[in-house]
Amino acid sequence: MKILVAVKRVIDYNVQIRVKEDGTGVVTDNVKMSTNPPDDNAIEEAVKIKEAGKATEVVAVSVGEEKAQETVRKALAVGADRGILVKVDGVIEPLAVSKILQKVVEKEKPDLVFMGKQAIDDDCNQTGQMLAALLNWPQATFASKIEVKDKSLEVTREIDEGLETIEVNVPAIVTCDLRLNEPRYASLPNIMKAKKKPIEQITASDLGVDTKPRIEQIKVEEPPKRKAGIKVASVEELVQKLKNEAKVI
Amino acid sequence: MSRETMEYDVVIVGGGPSGLSTAIKLKQLDQNLNVCVLEKASEIGAHILSGNVFETRALDELLPNWKELNSPIKTKVTKEKFLFLGRTKSLSWPTWLLPSVQQNHKNYIISLANLCRWLAEQAEALGVEIFPGFPASEVLYNEDGSVKGVATQDMGVDKEGNKKDSFEPGMELLGKVTVFAEGCRGHLGKQLIKKFELDKNKDPQQYGIGFKEIWEIDETKHEEGLVMHTAGWPLDNNTYGGSFMYHAENKQIYLGYVIGLDYKNPHLSPFDEFQRFKTHPSIKKIIEGGKRISYGARALIEGGFQSLPKMFMPGALLIGCDAGTLNMPKIKGSHTAMKSGIIAAETICDHFKSQKDLSIYEEKFRNSWLHKELFQARNVKPSFSWGLILGIIFTGIDQILFRGRLPFTLKHKHSDHETLKPAKEMPKIDYPKPDNIISFDKTSSVYLTGTNHEDNQPVHLKLKDPNLPINYTLGEFDEPAQRYCPAGVYEIQNENNINKFVINSQNCIHCKTCDIKEPSQNITWVTPEGGGGPKYGNM
């Protein structure tokens, strides 16, 4: 069994996001970038399945600018066997990513595609679902537990009502939740080894995918600042304020 | 448990200006050398913080064609100002009356973090292996006592020191020569200075704490290329310090404050002095209407020539501010750090090629402009122990009339941890509350640094005596850690009338001030798990 894992390069989750003054986006210059956190879980799970002898190869793929190579390299350092970088400059929307991944899947013929449930930059939570539709494959989203069966997967999903367990036939798309596992560290020896693993570079146009944005972004702005709270002296004052000022009771 | 081992010709600890300069110079001198650089930050530059007005002298020697290599050195200094601040007034000091070391017209306003990122690219292009996210946590020695290399920190250890599922043992990196370039108060450098008595017959090292904020200000108030320094308010005559304001590109200004850590009043809070400084009318009018986008703090070296330890030992070199090459009157340490790194590379190549002892570092250093520069600067900082006014008068005589060639050397008499007076003898300081427009609290400031440490790991701020803060330091000095820490790591919490000393180590921005200033030297800063700490952008 072969597993393809999609990884995205995003602004590190510790960095305080700053909106560009002209409202065209957020500042990314000299900002620390990292792998999208749930994508780390996706890689970890794929590597674990391989280590358990249930998969033969783990291939990491990223779609993005040249520097997304670092993200692929990180996946190689924690156990992926080889990498693919599909180079695209500028904004790329989930639909275009799905179409690119579709082409990569057609070429690589994996049995499973893993990725994070959503990316922490645009929070779209669409790519896995759209890829499943394009490939007409079953999908298991928000996976917090995966069990590999003979020709299927038993996947526990994190949903509003609690945990839902479903079975999907392979080939399938799985999007991973942060609770799925604890990603391992990239050790120094493995980082050194990863430098020697191959990364194939292609472009979106090589794959014949049009990546032009379909969505017009009007403006990016910071959420309004939360106003400071006030202290009230008594319960009466609180009730009165809730009635007259907040008008909630 | 045995660790994996990897051998290099040269292992460099620290990816700052000195370490990266060594790496680049080594590969230029002999491209067959195997060189690696370990960096504790998650990426090169993420733990770098500096003013910075950059003198290109060392870079001109290292990469003479830097202008063609798309370097981030762009904003030339065009105008200089020096202000003496009173509580509400300010007096502009003519720049021609400043010592020549404080004149900056040939220099550039840069972000040192970005310079380091660029230097790292140059180094990687030459074949240097750079490993960010891997702190060197331990020095390894040969049987004969010489330095053999370093070991990186184990990863995946929980609070109690047990191995988690994700445990990854550290790795031993062995170098024919190991170069320590950790920056000011490096935790391995500190051990080496002690073990090899590198500071024998030297004055105690002197430190300062430097703050920096980046502001985006109104276009009409921004003068790209303007360099402004101030002395005076809010500090009193007996506290050494001052501010900088550099107008960089993109409507940004680099605003900062440096306070000597030899201050005496335990009630003083360097962070709050900086915040208060910004409320001075001559500063406020510039940043008003602007937006603070970054914050950070870092200890820096102030001891200079008298305190500079020996920089070589068997198997290793100690360079940059890990030793202490900053030029205090010039308020610059980047070019000197880089030069010390270049000399280190030249020393190592001679050592490999003609079996010369590493002690030739000393001779090379003595014959360099770095030595001359630090020697001429040596008397400025100690003269300020007489107070601001006498310090300025003396510095005028020493630097303008004699150009640093007075036939004597003033001494630094005390270590910074010895200077605090008991809390009850010193006046309390009432700092104004932050207005969240010009001045801020520590919590919202630390938030801007992007600091994070994995929750479940051992506390990396070690107390030699865990009871000392409450039993002694609280009563004697009102536990100054609450105030000297620029990130709010240390707190005294009172529960049911019992005081508790709390260490919020996940907030630590790796400035090392606690390791320096704690009056009983009770706090030791050690490396946390790799990648932890701040994530500075263009600091």
Task: Extract the runs of DSSP E, i.e. beta strands, from A2-97.
Answer: 2-6, 9-11, 33-35, 57-64, 82-87
| Pairwise CA distance, residues B535 & B453, whole Å | 11
| Residue boundaries of the structural domains of chain A | 2-222
Q: Do A185 and B448 touch (CB under 8 A)?
A: no
Counted across chains A and B, CB pairs separated by less than 8 A come out at: 59
Task: Write out chain A residues lying below 8 Å of B45, CB-based.
Answer: 30
A142: which 2 tokens?
A: 């928000």
What residue of A is the nearest CA neighbor of B112? Answer: A30
Asked if A189 and B6 count as a contact pair (C-beta separation under 8 A), the reply is yes
Q: Which CATH number fits domain A2-222: 3.40.50.620, 3.30.300.130, 1.10.10.410, 3.30.950.10?
A: 3.40.50.620
- Report how far residue B415's alpha carbon sits from residue B392's, in angstroms, rounded to the nearest whole number: 22
**Chain B residues within 8 A of A34 when measuring between CB atoms:** 42
pLDDT digits (tens, 9 = 90+) for B439-483: 999 999 999 999 999 889 999 999 999 999 999 999 999 999 999
Q: What is the pLDDT of residues A54-95, one digit of tens each?
A: 999 999 999 999 999 999 999 999 999 999 999 998 889 999
pLDDT at res. A248: 85
Mean pLDDT of the region A86-113: 96
Distance CA B349, CA B351 (A): 5
Q: What is the mean pLDDT of each run of 10 residues along chain B (539 residues)?
A: 89 98 98 97 96 96 96 95 91 80 88 98 97 96 97 93 90 97 98 97 96 96 96 91 95 97 96 97 95 97 96 98 95 97 98 93 97 94 86 86 87 94 96 95 95 92 97 97 97 94 96 98 96 93
What mean pLDDT do residues A38-49 have? 98
The yes or no reply on domain B4-67+113-202+309-376 and CATH 3.50.50.60 is yes
Chain B: residue whose CA lies nearest to A18: B293
**Identity of the residue in A15, A29, A189 whose CB atom sits nearest the CB atom of B450:** A15
Question: Helix, strand, or coil here: B488?
Answer: coil
Q: What value does the mean pLDDT take over residues A131-145?
A: 97
pLDDT reported for residue A113: 98
Q: What is the pLDDT of residue A225?
A: 81
Quick: pLDDT tens for B398-450: 888 888 888 889 999 999 999 999 999 999 999 999 999 999 999 999 999 99
Interface test with A, best of B70, B168, B251, B538 (most A CBs within 10 A): B168
The C-alpha atoms of residue B258 and residue B212 are separated, in whole angstroms, by 9
- Specify the pLDDT at position A224: 86
CB B254 within 8 A of CB B214: yes
Reply yes or no on whether the pLDDT at A228 is more than 80: no
Count CB atoms within 10 A of the CB of residue B88: 9
Residue pLDDT, tens place only, B135-184: 999 999 999 999 999 999 999 999 999 999 889 899 999 999 999 999 99
With beta carbons less than 8 A apart as the criterion, state whether B333 and B52 touch. no
Query: Is B42 in contact with A184 (Cβ distance < 8 A)?
Result: no
CA dihedral for A8, A13, A14, A16, sign (positive or negative): positive
- Taking a C-beta distance cutoff of 8 angstroms, is the pair B278, B307 a contact? no
In the block, which residue shows the tokens 């913080």? Answer: B49
Nearest to A188 among B114, B134, B156 (CB): B134
Long-range contacts of B496-505 (CB under 8 A, 24+ apart): B499/B470, B499/B474, B500/B470, B501/B466, B501/B469, B501/B470, B501/B474, B503/B459, B503/B461, B503/B463, B505/B453, B505/B459, B505/B460, B505/B461
Residues of A with CB under 8 A from a CB of B: 12, 14-16, 18, 21, 29-32, 34, 182-189, 191-192
pLDDT value for B260: 95
Are the beta carbons of B447 and A16 separated by less than 8 Å? yes
End-to-end CA distance of chain B: 39
Contacts of B39 in chain A (CB under 8 A): none
Q: Which of A129, A17, A22 minimizes the C-alpha distance to B250?
A: A22
> Among candidates A79, A77, A78, A92, which has minimal Cα distance to A10?
A92
Q: Say whether A185 and B538 touch across the interface (CB within 8 A).
A: no
- Distance from the Cα of A208 to chain B's closest Cα (Å) equals 33
Selection from B52, B34, B164 nearest residue A182 by Cα: B164
Token pair 């917090």 is at which residue?
A: A144
b/e map A168-180, b = 16+ CB within 10 Å: bebbbbbbbbbeb
Look at A32 and B43 and tell me if their CB atoms are within 8 Å: yes
Topology of domain B442-525, per CATH?
A: Alpha-Beta Plaits (3.30.70)
| Structural domain boundaries in chain B | 4-67+113-202+309-376, 442-525
**Which residues in chain B are contacts of A182 at CB distance < 8 A?**
164-166
Q: What is the pLDDT of residue B97?
A: 76
Residue B490 host element (H or E): strand B490-495
